[in-house]
Structure 1
C-alpha cells in the first residue's frame, strides 16, 4: 500500500520532468529573441554615432543616438498600425547622401517642396521671412578661417557654384535650374537640408537636394555620449580604431558626457 508521501513524490516527478526545457527548446527561445531584436534594430530603431561637428550644438561629436526608422518612412500596406507622417520644416533627419548610397548623414530639414529659400550673412530666409534659429551657428570674425564670411556659403545661392567651394559637379549643373528671383525653389519629392553648424557643414548647399526616398528616419535622443576628438573620423586603420577602443575602455567613466544621456533631439 502506497503511503501519502510516495504518492506525492510520484506526482511531483512528472511535473518536474514537464518543466525541464530541452536544449533544442532553449535554442529556439534564444533564436526567437534574437530575431525580434534584429527586426526591431533593423526596421524600427537603429543606433548611429555622430562623427563630425556639422550639427553642433544640437549634436556633438561622439554622441550616440537612437533613430526612429518608422515615423518618417513611406507608409507600408503590411503595417497599417504604424504611425507615419511627412517631413516637417525643422526636423532633424537621417538620410543616405545623394550620390553616395553607403553614407548616412544627419542634417536639419530647412525646406520642403515648394519652399523658396536664400541665405543672407548666414541667416535663412524661408519664403521671404528671416528665420529665428537659436540652434544654428553663424559666421563670425573670431579669427577662425572656417567661421569667417564665405560668399557662396553665407549668401547662398547668390554666388554661382564653383569647384573651389567644394561644390559637386552634378550640383554645379543642377543648381541654376532651381533658382527663381534669387531664391532656391525646392522641387517635388525633395528636401533641402543643412547642418546646424552652418560655417562647418558640407550640406545641401554643396551637393543638392535630399530625395524623399533617401530619408531613413529621425534621431530621437542621445543614449550615450563620449568625448571624441574631431579628427577621429579620419583615423580609419585597424590599429587606430583598436587604439581608440582601448581609450574608451580606460576613460569610459571620466570622458562620458553623462549630462547628455537621454538628451532629446529637437
Structure 2
C-alpha cells in the first residue's frame, strides 16, 4: 500500500526575509548621516563644482561650463589627507583655481610662469627663458590694440586697468626687459589673451592662494559670449522651434564629461 503523500511546507530563506525588511528610523538616519559625511568630505577635501561666468578662458573653458575641480592635488604638504590622496607641485601650463580679492573671490587662469622664470610678451607671443612658449590653447579674439597687453612688461604706465601697486612691483622685478617670477609666486594668463584680466594687470598669484585644478566639465549651458565672433546669433525673436530642437540647443551636450587640459 502506497504511503500517503507528504506535503512539506518550504521554509522561507533568511536572505528573502532580509530583502523584505524595511529599515527602521534609526537605520535610515544612520544611512543618511553616512551619505552626508561622505559628501561633506568630498566637497571639503576632494572636489567642488564651479560655474564659468566669463570669456577669459575661451576656448578651453566657455561661459556656462560647469566644472568639477580637484581640491587635493595642490593641497599643502601638511594636509590631513596628504597620505590618502595624490599631491603634486604647481607646474607651468596648469589651469588653476585660486583666491583673489578682486574682482571675484575665485578666479581660474593658466599658469604661464613659475618661480625663477624670466618672461616677456612680444606682440602677444609669450617668451619663457628666451624661448617661445608652446601654447596651442591660446586664443586671440579681435580687440583694440593695447601696448601694455601685447608687449609686456611695458616701459611706460599707460593702462588705467593696471593696478598701480603692481606697476611699482613689476618695475623692481624687471631685468633686461624680462619679468623675473619671485619664489612662491606664479604668473597666470587667461587663454583668451585679448579679453582676460590677469597677471598682466594685477600681478602674481601666491602659492597659498591656489586651491584647485579643474578636472572635468560635467555640464555646459549654451550661453552667449561677448568676445567670440564665431558664435551663432541668438534667435530669440525668430520662429517657434519644436521642443526637441530646444532641448538640443539649450546645452552643449558634446562638452559634458570633457576632461580639462
Q: Please classify the TM superposition score into its range, dividing by the shorter chain length.
A: 0.7 to 0.9
Q: From the superposition, tell whether residues 36 and 161 of structure 1 become closer, same or farther in structure 2 (CA, over 3 Å).
A: farther
User: Over alpha carbons, which structure has the higher Rg?
Assistant: 2
| Structure 2 counterpart SS, 1:160 | coil
The offset of 1:159, in angstroms, is: 3.2
Unaligned runs of 5+ residues in structure 2 are: 1-6, 227-244
Question: Relative to total residues, which structure has the larger helix share, 1 or 2?
Answer: 1
The offset of 1:66, in angstroms, is: 1.0
Candidates 132, 142, 149, aligned match of 1:130: 132
Aligned residues: 234
| Structure 1 counterpart SS, 2:126 | strand
Unaligned runs of 5+ residues in structure 1 are: 232-249
Two-structure CA RMSD over aligned residues (Å): 2.6
Q: From the superposition, tell whether residues 252 and 30 of structure 1 become closer, same or farther in structure 2 (CA, over 3 Å).
A: farther
What pairs up with 1:163-182 in 2 under 5 angstroms? 164-182=159-177
Contact 1:226 1:252 in 2 (8 A): no
The offset of 1:101, in angstroms, is: 9.3
Match of 2:93 in 1: 90
Note the alpha carbon deviations across 1:144-177, whole angstroms, 9 max, x for none: 4xx2331100001023334x34012321232112
Note the alpha carbon deviations across 1:198-220, whole angstroms, 9 max, x for none: 10000000010000011111111
What pairs up with 1:166-245 in 2 under 5 angstroms? 166-230=161-225
Moved more, 130-139 or 33-42: 130-139
Note the alpha carbon deviations across 1:206-258, whole angstroms, 9 max, x for none: 01000001111111121111111347xxxxxxxxxxxxxxxxxx955422111
Moved more, 37-46 or 15-24: 15-24
Match of 1:240 in 2: none
Note the alpha carbon deviations across 1:19-48, whole angstroms, 9 max, x for none: 442112201211210221122022200111
Report the Cα distance in structure 2 between the residues aligned to 1:155 and 1:17, rounded to whole angstroms.
Answer: 70
TM-score norm. by structure 1 comes to 0.80
